[in-house]
Amino acid sequence: MKNITNYKVVEGKEREFVDFITHYLFKQGFGVLSKSEIDLLFFASILKFDDTLGKSDYELSKYFQISQARIRALKEKLSVKYEVIDLPTAIDHFQDKLEFARIDEPFIEIPINDIAVRNALVSLLDENNILIKSELNPKNFKLRIEDLFELLLVFERKLSKEEKAPSNEDLIKSFALSLGQRNDLLEKLKIIDFSEKDGYLKLLKDGLKKVPVSMGIEFLAGLIPGGYLVSAPVKLILDRLSSKI
């Protein structure tokens, strides 16, 4: 069985692997890092450059031959110290977990078990002033539908291949004219006057606040065929959300 005792750096990533380790190993000076910090650095390096190990704590526990509790502790530490989980990876994990999402009015609850992924998403939410419901159980990732909508806009903007990524408001404006012709979608949110004077983003978020989560998901799912949100990951998220209604 494959485990850490016969580890080999993934072919083609040897240079990146060594550069990552030496950068952090000597960042504060030679011999400064403790044994536990060096263990964390190697753990982070292996996770960053080897995507064949599996995602679950159980799989990683078997591979590293340590307890799942220690795996979770290491993940939490590395998530605040090293850039191991990039946004596309976090979004992929988010997509995978939508299959297990459930509606808990007025929230959508998504089980995010990977603490490193969760911290990456929470950091993105904080950066964009989007609220997440605090939970005693850190595995429960709860968002209101209007905040999930804004998070999707952030995903769309961050994944944009344009040299200068558009702002959330610019994204809204870019399809506002087309959306203004979609009375079937606007009626779901009880929006009568869809005009720029009150701000398109505010109008849509206020509309989403007033309807049940299932109706909000219907609205978001309706954005798929219109080409309003174009990145493949966001389309997949909307498609998987629509299966919940």
Residue 222 makes CB contacts below 8 A (sequence gap 6+) with 182, 184, 185, 188
Domain count, the chain: 2
pLDDT band of residue 128 (cuts 50, 70, 90) is confident
122 shares its domain with 76: no
Q: Are residues 79 and 93 in the same domain?
A: no
Residues 54, 117 share a domain: no
Alpha helices in the chain (DSSP H): 14-25, 35-49, 57-64, 68-81, 87-97, 115-127, 145-158, 168-180, 183-188, 200-209, 213-221, 223-226, 232-242
- 77 and 58 co-located in one domain: yes
How much is the pLDDT for 166?
A: 61
pLDDT digits (tens, 9 = 90+) for 14-36: 999 999 999 989 888 888 889 99
Answer yes or no: is pLDDT of 57 > 90.
no
Average pLDDT of every residue of the chain: 80
Q: Are residues 30 and 58 in the same domain?
A: yes
Same domain, 99 and 157: yes
Edge to edge, the sheet with strand 107-111 lists 102-104, 107-111, 140-144
Q: Which of 59, 83, 107 is the last residue of a domain?
A: 83
Handedness of CA 82, 83, 89, 91 (dihedral sign): positive
Q: Which of 55, 83, 111 is the last residue of a domain?
A: 83
Measured distance CA(40)–CA(43) in Å, rounded: 5
Residues 114 and 69 in one domain: no
For residue range 159-217, what is the model confidence (pLDDT) as tens digits? 766 555 566 666 666 666 666 667 777 888 888 777 766 677 788 888 888 889 988 88
Distance between CA atoms of residues 20 and 45, nearest Å: 7
Which residue type occupies 172? Answer: I
Please indicate, yes or no, whether residues 123 and 219 belong to a single structural domain of this protein: yes
Residue 156 shares a structural domain with residue 206: yes
**Domain span at 56:** 4-83
In a shared domain, residues 63 and 107: no
Percent of the chain at pLDDT exceeding 70: 80
| pLDDT given at position 82 | 78
Domain match, 183 and 233 both = yes
Token pair in block for residue 90: 């976090």
d(CA 151, CA 216): 14
Q: Looking at the structure, do residues 94 and 76 belong to the same domain, yes or no?
A: no
Q: What are phi and psi of 54, to 5 degrees?
A: 95, 160
Residue that terminates a domain, selected from 35, 54, 83: 83
